[in-house]
């Protein structure tokens, strides 16, 4: 009987083939979600899976971990340094002093997605996203950034379930144990920005149980981010 990872790989092959494509492109961040999707892509497409490492005024350790993952699983990859483009874009836009930090930082995932779609066009590929259910439910992703993808193989899995998939796929332990971070600014972590731990979030999503504080936070985030999970509404003529 096929394992879960084998079923995901078969689903990826069917979706990519159904779109008239033959390959997959993944952004490599050095985190567990990215590494797990990369390993799934390698399983599904072999040498037709391609990774892109995209440093963008970010911690050099992120790119080091991303390359480490690619080499550990035998994934073809290349590095595209987006730092000069990011800095030029900030200057061209002329963001004033006092612009919210997140508004500035969200330029990074949107630049990365531009790069991934350019790579996909060159490869005849679809872009695989790395978002998991825990993050998608509360809108913890950048609209038209890391949320702008073709397929979400982890979209039905809680963060704790992604760790299980990562172990099945032999993702290196140091990546599984790494503190989750979107790498948007120095010292940023997912759990600090979300206001709760993944353990608390996963438990609430799985069972509906949690403290009143966690329940209120999750439901407020769900409501506030609903627009991120749907296509743009069309005026009903």
Q: Where do the structural domains in the chain lie, given as residue ranges?
A: 4-190
- CA–CA separation, 228 and 175 (whole Å): 28
> 44: which 2 tokens?
């599904």
Rg (CA), the chain: 18
pLDDT at residue 191 in the model: 85
Q: Cβ(68)–Cβ(212) under 8 Å?
A: no
Residue 120's pLDDT is 98
User: How would you label 168-186 residue by residue, b for 16+ Cβ within 10 Å and e otherwise?
Assistant: ebebbeebbebeebbbbbe
Using CA atoms of 89, 95, 100, 101 in order, give the dihedral in degrees to the nearest 10: 40
| 4-190: CATH superfamily | HUPs (3.40.50.620)
The H helix count followed by the E strand count for the chain is 12, 4
Residue 183 above 90 pLDDT?
no
Q: Tell me how far apart the alpha carbons of residues 111 and 159 are, in angstroms, rounded to a whole number.
A: 25
Query: pTM for this one?
Result: 0.94
Residue 208 has pLDDT above 90, yes or no: yes
pLDDT at 99: 87
Three-class secondary structure of residue 44 per DSSP: helix
* Contact present, 115 and 149 (Cβ < 8 Å): no
Mean pLDDT across 223-237: 95
pLDDT of residue 2: 80
Distance (Å) of CA 205 to CA 37, 129, 133, 135, 158: 22, 21, 9, 11, 8
Q: What is the pLDDT of residue 180?
A: 79
Q: What is the mean pLDDT of residues 61-89?
A: 96
**Higher per-residue confidence, 11 vs 182:** 11
What pLDDT does 181 receive? 74
pLDDT of residue 144: 95
List residues with catalytic annotation. 33, 135
Give the pLDDT score at 188: 74
Pull the structure tokens for residue 178: 């790494």
Chain centroid offset of residue 34 CA: 6
148-153: long-range contacts at Cβ-Cβ below 8 A with a sequence spacing of 24 or more?
A: 148/110, 148/113, 149/113, 150/19, 150/120, 150/126, 151/12, 151/15, 151/16, 151/24, 151/126, 151/127, 152/128, 153/8, 153/11, 153/12, 153/37, 153/40, 153/128, 153/129
CA distances from residue 7 to 4, 15, 45, 157, 165 in whole angstroms, order as listed? 5, 12, 13, 14, 12
Q: Tens digit of pLDDT for each residue in 133-174?
A: 999 999 999 999 999 999 999 999 999 999 999 999 999 999
CA distance linking residue 102 with residue 118, whole number of Å: 25
pLDDT tens by residue, 80-121: 999 999 999 999 999 888 888 888 999 999 999 999 999 999
């Amino acid at each position: 009987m096929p394992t879960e990872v084998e079923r995901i790989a078969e689903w990826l092959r069917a979706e990519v083939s159904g779109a008239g494509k033959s390959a997959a492109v993944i952004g490599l961040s050095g985190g567990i979600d990215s590494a797990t999707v990369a390993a799934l892509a390698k399983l599904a497409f072999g040498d037709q899976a391609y990774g892109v490492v995209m440093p963008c005024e970010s911690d050099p350790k992120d790119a080091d971990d991303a390359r480490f993952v690619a080499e550990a699983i035998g994934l073809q990859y290349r590095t595209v340094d987006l730092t000069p483009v990011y800095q030029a874009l900030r200057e061209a836009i002329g963001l004033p002093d006092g612009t919210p930090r997140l508004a500035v930082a969200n330029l990074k995932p949107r630049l990365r997605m531009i790069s991934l779609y350019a790579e996909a066009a060159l490869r005849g590929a679809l872009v695989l996203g790395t978002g998991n259910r825990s993050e998608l439910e509360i809108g913890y992703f950048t609209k038209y950034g890391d949320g702008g993808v073709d397929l979400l193989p982890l979209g039905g899995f809680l963060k704790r379930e992604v760790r299980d998939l990562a172990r099945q796929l032999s993702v290196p332990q140091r990546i599984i144990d790494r503190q989750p971070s979107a790498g948007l600014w120095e010292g940023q972590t997912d759990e600090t920005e979300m206001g709760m731990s993944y353990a608390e979030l996963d438990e609430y999503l799985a069972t509906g149980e949690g403290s009143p504080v966690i329940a209120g936070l999750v439901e407020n985030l769900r409501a506030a981010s609903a627009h991120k999970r749907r296509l743009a509404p069309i005026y009903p003529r």
